[in-house]
Amino acid sequence: MGKHTFKEWMIAVRPWSFPASAMPVIVTVAYLFWSDGTSLNWLFGLWALVNIVIFHAAGNTWSDWFDYRKKVDADDTFGAKTLTSGMFTPDEIMKLSIALTLVACAGGAGLLALTGLPLLWIGLGGLACTLLYPFLKYHALGDVVILAAYAFLPTIGTSYVTTGAVDWNVLWIALPVGLITDGILHCNNARDIATDRRCGVTTMAMGLGIKMSALFYGFEMSFPYIWVGICSIAGIMPVYTILVFLTLPVAIACIRTMRKSVDGGASVIADLDVRTANVQLMFSLLLAASFIIAGLL
């Protein structure tokens, strides 16, 4: 691979998107701290966090390579410009993706050796999501993969490595965090409906159309607050989780921007994926903080 600056490498792996993979792990550890006390393996939790972020970086570069090869990413498209701008060659991005995948697999194998066989199936599921994501995204299943890879699998896996057993109750937190994460993909695909169509790619946003996509995005960004509110009232989550409502005005602003794209076109939501990722980060950090506060009090 040619010589590149640190900034260019960071652009290639898209670190702004890492909260999508990191937050499910962080929120799960915080939830388990509240529900199970202090009997957690914090080292394994940190290990899982680092590993899923590396997998995420591998997935980002893998997806970019496929999008460029499929001509989904071109000079006139939004999103990643690492290949269309000539910053990196396709061969460089492919080699980077393979290297990151191997590092993540090695890390997962080490954690597997220290925990147990159930982690193997969770890890294989995550690897499959990474490798198959481009193909599935092109066939309107990207949203399903995102929920699996960045909601259900990491929360279940984190509960296993930190406690030695799967705590299915973590799925209560997987859904709200995962829906906002899926919102990142959905607004991205809504923005790219026209350019995806010319390449023969089919996404859920394309099937729904821009009006229904705006409504679906609104659901993804609003339902997590309803869910947390209900869980808080029902005692499934501590009352402190209502702290997440501090981020609701930001989420509403994103929903309004998405609605404007119905008449205003794709340029209106050019950066909405980044803004949605920021909502996911703030929402998840406050959710994690609420569990920590409840666990300490």
Rounded average pLDDT over 166-172: 92
Count other Cβ atoms within 10 Å, centred on residue 236: 14
Rounded average pLDDT over 25-49: 90
Q: What does the alpha-carbon distance between residue 248 and residue 70 come to, in Å, rounded to a whole number?
A: 37
pLDDT at 223: 97
pLDDT at 74: 55
What is the amino acid identity at position 102? L
* 11-28 tens-digit pLDDT: 888 888 888 899 999 999
* 50-66 tens-digit pLDDT: 999 999 999 888 888 88
* 77-99 tens-digit pLDDT: 555 667 777 788 888 889 999 99
Exposed/middle/buried for 249, CB within 10 Å: 0-12, 13-18, 19+?
Answer: exposed
pLDDT at 73: 62
* 119-157 tens-digit pLDDT: 999 989 988 988 888 888 888 888 899 999 899 999 999
* Cα–Cα–Cα angle for 137, 143, 144, rounded to 5 degrees: 100
* 221-279 tens-digit pLDDT: 999 999 999 999 999 999 999 999 999 999 999 999 999 988 888 889 888 998 999 99
pLDDT at 72: 66
The residue behind tokens 């009090």 is 297
pLDDT at 196: 79
First to last CA, the chain: 52
Q: Alpha helix (H) ranges present in the chain? A: 6-13, 19-36, 42-69, 90-114, 118-137, 142-147, 153-163, 171-191, 193-198, 204-234, 248-264, 272-296
* 191-229 tens-digit pLDDT: 888 877 877 788 899 889 999 999 999 999 999 999 999
Closest C-alpha among 273, 217, 282 to residue 14: 273
Task: Give me the residue spans of the domains in the chain.
Answer: 8-296
Chain center to CA of 92: 24
Q: Is the confidence at residue 2, as pLDDT, over 60?
A: no
